[in-house]
Structure 1
Amino acid sequence: MAEKKSTSYPKEKINILLLENISEKAVANIKEHGYVSVKKLSGALSEEELMREIKDVHLLGIRSKTQITQNVLDAANKLQAIGCFCIGVNQVNLKAATSKGVVVFNAPYSNTRSVAELVIGLSILLIRRIIDKNKAAHEGIWMKEAKGSYELRGKTLGIVGYGNIGSQVSVLAESLGMKVIYYDVVTKLPLGNAQQVRSLKDLLAQSDVVTLHVPETAQTKNLINKTTIKHFKKGAILLNYARGEVVDLDVLRKALLDGHVSGAAVDVFPWEPEKNGDRFQTPLQDLPNVILTPHIGGSTEEAQENIGEDVSNKLVQYLERGITIGSHTVPELALPQQEGTHRILHIHRNVPGVLSEINTELSKHKINILGQYLKTNEQIGYVVLDVDKALSKKAVQLLKEVKETIKVRMVY
């Protein structure tokens, strides 16, 4: 049982809303810390629905389908933090969340292994043409042949994007005897014997298997297009378990049909259905040696439990201690707890003189600051203060009156 730390606001009055069937691990972890008002819904909500639901919510948990817009944030009168129980935070208007002092967390590393294992498994299936043989067997056709089937050992794997997942794929691939090369816009220290190449063109020309692990940005949109696909080694295999906008699917379809690319596995698409059972269409359907999966690269029981534990811990630590490590909005801070104090959090617009005004006002009223830390980003500043218990309520009121204040909260 986790230690139940005291908070200035009664835990039973803190409302927590979890959407999109977030792991029970997260629910259990939150309740173990003494929070009982937890509402869990299985699906995503529309903007209008969420605006109604979020009015009295203090903590919100979402996955990738729920969109946190300016309108949603404007309706969230009590919202302290959002937990994205997934890798990305693209679904949140981060600028709006920052301006309102709402902390946004995610779990960038929790499903790394799940994706990496699947990429290796798919590479084996594709290079052996198991997909075609499986289909034939199901149709009653015996297709025992070695033609067009190869081992991964000795082949070159090209990794585009050498981050958490790309580097993990690199380690697994080397253990199978593959040569690993990678391309990244930033110089990265290789793991094992992997080698960084100077350009995407160089990587594509050398690779038997190409796997994409890049974020969705203006620079990566249609990274694989009618120009870059010409640089692929003839007969190469492409895997996209990154983001849907990274590959021009019409271009890939043509390359598959003319044999320039011999196989593909795609998990993410420019357009994806809202819920299970909805109709799905892509140009890659009905092609040989193509594996299509419904955005399940990181969807394992282990990954969902890891994500649930990671993000719920971050939410609880922020509520109970003001820790913002891993935040995408409020600056990252982790001030050690001090005995005999009350902790107050102050979030303000980042303009000169705010910290000076805070210290002047507290000093004027003889409120002793026993610990203090400030960190800023372009939009806001975040101050954690440990003050004398006897005068903490007065300190909170004074801090609310400081110019440029966005949010003030006593933690304990």
Structure 2
Amino acid sequence: MTKLSLSKDKINILLLEGVHDTAIAELAARGYASVERLPHALDEAELLERIGAVHMIGIRSRTHLTARVLEAAQRLFCVGCFCIGTNQVDLKAARRQGIPVFNAPYSNTRSVAELVIGEIIMLMRGIFEKSSDVHAGGWMKTAKNSYEVRGKTLGIVGYGHIGSQVSILAEAMGMQVRFFDVQRKLALGNAHPCNSLEELLGVSDVVSLHVPDTPQTRNMIGDAQLRMMKRGSYLLNLARGKVVDIDALARALDEKHVLGAALDVFPREPSGEGDTFESPLRGRPNVILTPHIGGSTLEAQANIGAEVAQKLIEYSDNGSTMGAVNFPQAALPVHDGATRFLHLHRNVPGVLRKINDVFSSRNLNIAAQYLQTDPELGYVVIDVDGDADEVEVLNDLRAIDGTLKTRFLYPGRIG
């Protein structure tokens, strides 16, 4: 019988943009030895030249996996985004190709939360302006517009993993915490929910944004919302660049309605270190601008490397799709002792019956079967006892109308 599975040491893995050593260690510990790591991103032309021989690829934010690249990736079976966002991947194209995309949405939570707290202190003490003045030879020794954070009210917009972590740290420093989220969330510590964004803006000395990029959140902080904030308050955005209307913020700062701001994300960001960052906020002594580094700590990168590598391994070894952003979520038991077939198909009636017919017609016993669907896709995993002719079974599975992708696994192997 012909074995179609590749041994793990023949799985070609390409990691770009200096993915952390922990990813290499995780892959090596599970038997994946054919790993190439590059310190930089690849453009589309370079990707098209190399992607055809790659089975797994790991990227960060600067590498863009376009539909054209994914369509050329005939051997690619999964993608790892070693970061929070997945906007750099054409998720619909990956879905059409039957390629799950994994990321690490929570591994840098603490790093972002700590930066928020640090910037709140620096804003309320005017540290950035005073430090720049001393560097220039000045000596701005004054208490004007310098405040303790203790006793001040922090308003958190978006009480998810990062927002709630900020809440805990802020309360430990003596701040009163109010929060608003479109979903009902359990308050941690002594934090109190607000019934609306407007209510939160009106009571907060500092407003920190921690929301995703959606049509509802884009420009959610504009002229009207900035006017609702207390005069002399502060705004921080370490969430998504399009959440704040930058021109409106500049006007609020000019009028001193908002006393200071800190931003780590922007509507338009340079694509590389050589590009110039342009913004009406540049040059303002009461504004802290950082280059999208909220989660850029060694600890966060180590956590991200381990988390995403583990997700890639679990899908490769086991077929588990937990954590995939564009796939039905299937948590599967350890694959051991049986041939495991994976079948991705359009979610239409009759497909599961036809899949089962492929095995029953060969008198193959189905030891276990797992099915997860979403409105568009169905993902079924079948463990089969006995000797199966994998070539024939795969050909029959691929012939089923609606099939997008199918492969099979042996214990410790990948197909």
8 A contact 1:367–1:395 mirrored in 2: no
Q: Would you say the 8 A contact 2:365–2:386 is kept in 1?
A: no
Q: How many residues align?
A: 406
Check if 1:75 corresponds to 2:72: yes
Residue 291 of structure 1, CA deviation: 0.8
1:286-340 Cα offsets, whole Å, 9 max, x none, are 1122111111000000000000000000001110111111111221112213643
Deviation at 1:396, TM superposition (A): 3.1
Residues 294 and 339 of structure 1, relative CA distance in 2, 3 Å threshold: closer
Write the deviation string for residues 176-217 of structure 1: whole angstroms up to 9, x where unpaired. 111111111111111111111111111111111111111111
1:403 maps onto 2:401 in alignment: yes
**Paired residue type of 2:67:** Q
Separation in structure 2 between the aligned mates of residue 392 and residue 293 of structure 1, nearest angstrom: 57
C-alpha distance in structure 2 between counterparts of 1:247 and 1:293, whole Å: 15
Asked whether the equivalents of residues 320 and 331 of structure 2 are also in contact (C-alpha less than 8 Å), the reply is yes
Deviates more, 1:338-347 or 1:284-293: 338-347
Letter in 2 for 1:204: L
Q: CA deviation at 1:26?
A: 0.9
Alignment of 1:263 onto 2:260: yes
Contact 2:125/2:148, CA 8 A, preserved across alignment? yes
Aligned pair 1:58/2:55, yes or no? yes
Match for residue 84 of structure 2 among 76, 82, 87: 87
In the TM superposition, 1:343-382 aligns within 5 A as 343-382=340-379
Q: Does 1:293 find its partner at 2:290? A: yes
Q: Is the 8 A contact 1:157 1:178 kept in 2?
A: yes
Structure 1 match to 2:30: 33
Q: C-alpha offsets along residues 28-61 of structure 1, whole Å, 9 cap, x if unaligned?
A: 2212222222122222222232222211211111
Compare 174-183 and 335-344 and name the one that shifted more: 335-344
Contact map agreement 1:342 1:392 (CA 8 A) in 2: no
- Given the alignment of the two structures, is residue 279 of structure 1 paired with residue 296 of structure 2, yes or no? no
The answer to whether the 8 A contact 2:317-2:335 is kept is no
* Matches for 1:125-136 after TM superposition, within 5 Å: 125-136=122-133
Q: Aligned pair 1:156/2:150, yes or no?
A: no
2:334 maps to 1:334:
no
> In the TM superposition, what is the alpha-carbon distance from 1:219 to its structure 2 partner?
1.2
* Residue 310 of structure 2, aligned match among 283, 293, 313: 313
Check the 8 A contact 2:108/2:303 in 1, yes or no: yes
* Amino acid aligned to 1:408: T
Alignment map for 1:81-230 (pairs within 5 Å)? 81-230=78-227
Q: Cα offset for 1:130?
A: 1.0
Tell me the CA shift for residue 347 of structure 1: 0.9
Q: Which amino acid is 1:311 matched to? A: V
**2-structure distance, mates of 1:294, 1:338:** 43
Residues 215-238 of structure 1 deviation map (CA, whole Å, 9 limit, x = unaligned)? 111111111111211111101111
**Tell me, which stretches of 5 or more residues in structure 2 are unaligned?**
411-415
- Distance across 1 between alignment mates of 2:200 and 2:69: 43
Aligned position for 1:231: 228
**Cα pair 1:213 1:242 within 8 Å, conserved:** yes
Supply the AA of the counterpart residue of 1:41: L
Q: Distance between the aligned counterparts of 1:406 and 1:282, measured in 2? A: 45
Alpha-carbon distance between aligned partners in 2 of 1:296 and 1:339, rounded to the nearest angstrom: 42
| Distance in 2, Cα, partners of 1:268 & 1:299 | 13
Preserved CA contact (<8 Å) 1:340 1:389: no
User: 1:250 aligns to what?
Assistant: 247
Aligned to 1:54, what secondary structure does the other structure show? Answer: helix
Following the alignment from structure 1 to structure 2, what is the Cα–Cα distance between the partners of residues 11 and 351?
Answer: 34
1:238, 1:261 → 2: CA distance? 7
Inter-partner Cα distance in structure 2 for 1:109 and 1:352: 36
Structure 1 residue identity aligned to 2:299? E
Match of 1:3 in 2: none
Using the aligned pairs only, state the percent identity: 55
